[in-house]
Amino acid sequence: MKEDQDAIRQELQRSLATPITTVQLAHEIATLLKSFRTKIDPRVVAQRLAEDLASRFTHKSEALQRLIQYRPKELANLTHQAANLAHQAAWEDIKRIVLPMIAAQKNVRRKIDTQEERARRSKQAKNRYEHLQRSYISKLGAIEREFSAPSGVGSLYPLPLPFTGPCLDEIFRGGGYKMSGTVDSLQWLFGLSRKKLSMARPPIKGGREIFYDYRGILACMDALLKQTGPNADWLSDPSRRETVLTGVIFRARREAKRRIRRAFEKKLLPYFT
């Protein structure tokens, strides 16, 4: 109990009745003497005055010292309440004055003055868009999502046909996908980053964009399917892998051009166990 009161006294002494230092007093006196514009060195006079007068201005109030000595807990509670009231009053002023001023301000877009600035802004916007497109990776690739049965469906309700989806139909018909993008891209198909799909070949240039046809898709599938075990980047579960590949070949036989269907069969059938 006594230790708590001593700690409170020390904290009150530090926060409410800190003695003035010689350096502080010297600074105040020097400031005052400089205003007189005399020829004497104000720093020397200020230091001598501070040394002589500092002890006389050690404390602000004897009554405050008595409160710290005999009523430390009550004074600590009072200062805490006063601080809270001050914070509440400041917040009320902010809500009453500052926030309405912020809300009243209009977000005015600065007018574009030159063609150079217009071109720069357009390039920045395009770069931001392309960065978002390149960095987008879905949690589950479209191939795995569309060509695999939901958990437990196959065992509860045996199905006569494999699960399939349309995500590869454009490829089956001879079209191509970009490397990056939220849809219709290699990242979207596999759910993997560009770095893990760097084996896609050959690139096909179409204007400013680079596309990959069935050869690029099969190059990625071939490289990823060679990875086995739980650390494989794509279709690590053997049962799920077989389900997906069965669905892809089934869909290719229905939708793909002849040469593309044969390419898928040739590349994927060896991976069936």
pLDDT tens, position by position, 61-96: 677 677 677 777 777 777 777 677 767 777 777 777
Q: What is the spatial distance between Cα 205 and Cα 199, in angstroms, rounded to a whole number?
A: 17
Return all residues near 235 (Cβ < 8 A) that are at least 6 apart: 144, 224, 225, 241, 244
Are the C-beta atoms of residues 122 and 116 closer than 8 Å to each other?
no
Residue that is written with structure tokens 């596999």 in the block = 190
Instruction: Indicate if the pLDDT at residue 159 is higher than 60.
Output: no
Q: What is the pTM of this model?
A: 0.52
pLDDT for 208 equals 84
Report, as an integer, the average pLDDT of 22-39: 67
More confident residue, 273 or 217: 217
Beta sheet of 209-212, edge-to-edge order: 177-178, 209-212, 204-206
Q: What is the spatial distance between Cα 224 and Cα 234, in angstroms, rounded to a whole number?
A: 6
Instruction: Indicate if the pLDDT at residue 188 is higher than 60.
Output: yes
Are the C-beta atoms of residues 67 and 75 closer than 8 Å to each other?
yes
Q: What mean pLDDT is reported for the chain?
A: 79
- Of the chain, the percentage scoring pLDDT greater than 70 comes to 65
pLDDT for 157 equals 44
C-alpha distances out from residue 22 to 50, 108, 214, 237, Å: 6, 53, 84, 77
Q: Read off the tokens for 38.
A: 């005399």
Polymer length of the chain: 273
The segment with the largest mean pLDDT, out of 32-46, 89-103, 245-259, is 245-259
